[in-house]
Amino acid sequence: MARRHLATAVLIAAAVLAVALPRALANDVDGHKAKLRASALLFEDFDSGSDWTERWKHSSADKYTGRFTTAQAKDWKDKGLKMPDKSKHYGLAALLAGPVEPVVGPGAPLVVQYEVKYSEGVTCGGAYLKLLSADPDLSPEGLVDSTPYSLMFGPDKCGGPGKVHLILRARNPGNGTITERHLASPPVPDASDYTHVYTLKLSPDHKYEISIDGEVKSSGDLLAEGVMAPPLLPPREVPDPDHTKPDDWVDLAVIPDPDATKPADWDDREKVEDEAATKPRGWLDNESPMIDDPAAVKPEEWDDDEDGVWTPNQIVNPKCKVGCGVWKRPLKPNPAYKGAWKPPVIDNPAYKGPWTQRRIPNPDYYEDSSPLTSSVAPIGGVALELWTVDSGYMFDNLLVTRDPQLAALALEKLWKPRHDDEVNAFEGQIKKNQEAEKERKRKEREERKKNRKKSGRRGSEQLEALADGFLNLFEPGAALAPLAPLLEPLLEWLRGNPEGIVLLIGVTPLLLLTLLMIVRTSGRKKSPKDLGAAAAKKTDAVQPDDEPPAEGDDSVAPAVAAAGEAEAQGVVSGQAAEAVDVADEDDDEQDEPAAGGARRRTRRAA
């Protein structure tokens, strides 16, 4: 009885936890959002319960036919902002509570952060933010593409890998011009299906950081050379526009030697006629390769005065089965071809050195210790002014703040759980697909077994088990899984013919043995001595190692004498033959003195 009550209590506790835990987590997320909304310059989660439509307005310009909606993306637990239609311009903006300087004082950076998800893929489109310049006349409904902005940040991709924009619109206090300053080497956005969070941090000391999913992808000093193009501060000097290179200025250090001539034996013909080629038999020299179509008929409506002289279409001459017309020898690669001849280069006697344009003080130069504050206009609103070929771009948890800790909170408590859910769902789907594939293959094997039994093809249970064990080595996650695509035809055949495992087991060692023998054979090389001896045997030449027997060596002479005596008698005794073999083992070929003191070769006794 006690155990029954304990089990009931556990079940009740589990049920309560299952209901209470999601609510607790939801309340926790709502609490974080409330903190962000209360502390940040702007925080928007675009959820239906947050009355986001009261703060964000679509542009009333005719160009912006796209309308943002809210939707719940796959594996999301709440809604976000969505671009639902393809190939449209979208314009949506919201005002800040008041003008916001890009940076203020030590320790008060500007942080912009938001989430982007390409829920239906990305081919070409922007997903960046424009931080609009503060202006008394600024209104969300009046948003157009030329509405002034102070800063633009976010991913933009079309065709190539894309870029994460960082653009500052800075005003020159000297002449009043406003110029876009682009990050010279922007990072590449992440175009995967997961939700990604983009973070920009601008510090009062003009340092910047761009992070994707919390990982810094680009950072540096905005005032350093080469970081912004054009630079945030103008250079002190600029090239003198009135100083141009003289027409007679020679800046070529070397020139081709005008006195050099191509050698008389230099052959630069890449192709030459093949002198060995002969005209094919049946070639008709006096026939034209193309003739008038005898079946062609002049159209009745053809007017020679208006349409010109009518001529029938040309067709291939049916007589030219081998060839017609003037026969020419085919070309072949020129064995004497040396390449294109070029004269050698010499020092240019007229060379004056590199020409350098004179530099003058920049009339637009100005000094500014804090250009982010003095040159970049205060921020009055945030806009999504975009065009895209695709649909399904999602935006969420948009944050503008001076506190990096709030951005870290949003990343850790809002983005990371969502990202983890997406990763787990994706991995779970992969596992589910793998299990489904295994089940499909299992059913196919069972079906094939039934079909084999019906048709009388019955392999032994041992062979089927062996074949299944072999096939399991190529299943996803197994040791040989990477080779499965290459061997799929063989594996598919083996699934339907498990008895084929016998053939596979028998053939594989033979193939390996053959390969091993080929490798060993190709790896053997004859020594120079062996090659020389072989050549000598073919030409009967005397070799350095063909020394005559030593005077005190009696092991060879009796054998030769015995062989000679047996040959003279026409019978070779077993003992003489054995002696000859022994002599041959010591020296394959012996030298005998010939008349006149010359040497002659004697062949081995057969």
- Full-model pTM: 0.62
State the Cα–Cα distance between residues 502 and 459, nearest whole angstrom: 11
| Tokens 């003489």 belong to residue | 576
Tell whether the model's pLDDT for residue 562 goes beyond 50. no
The residue assigned the tokens 């952060």 is 113
Residue 42, pLDDT above cutoff 70: yes
- 40-238+370-416 belongs to CATH 3.40.50.12710: no
- Percentage with pLDDT > 90 across the chain: 54
Tokens describing residue 321: 């089965």
DSSP 551-572: TT--SSHHHHHHHHHHHHHT--
Long-range contacts of the stretch 146-150 (C-beta < 8 A, 24+):
147/383, 147/385, 148/178, 148/377, 149/383, 150/102, 150/376, 150/377, 150/378, 150/379
pLDDT surpasses 90 at 543: no
DSSP letter, residue 464: H
- Return the percentage of the chain with pLDDT > 70, whole number: 78
CB atoms within 10 A of CB 36: 23
Spell out the residues 6+ positions from residue 205 whose beta carbon is closer than 8 angstroms to its own.
none
Cross-strand pairs, 44: 398
**Cα 109 to chain centroid, rounded:** 38
pLDDT at 519: 79
Residue 327 burial (10 A CB sphere; 0-12, 13-18, 19+): middle
pLDDT of residue 163: 96
- Answer yes or no: is pLDDT of 383 > 90: yes
Amino acid 571: pLDDT: 38
pLDDT tens, residue by residue, 228-273: 999 999 889 999 999 999 999 999 999 999 999 999 999 999 999 9
Instruction: Delimit the domains of the chain by residue range.
Output: 1-30, 40-238+370-416, 426-520, 550-606
Q: Binning pLDDT at 50, 70 and 90, where does residue 445 land?
A: confident
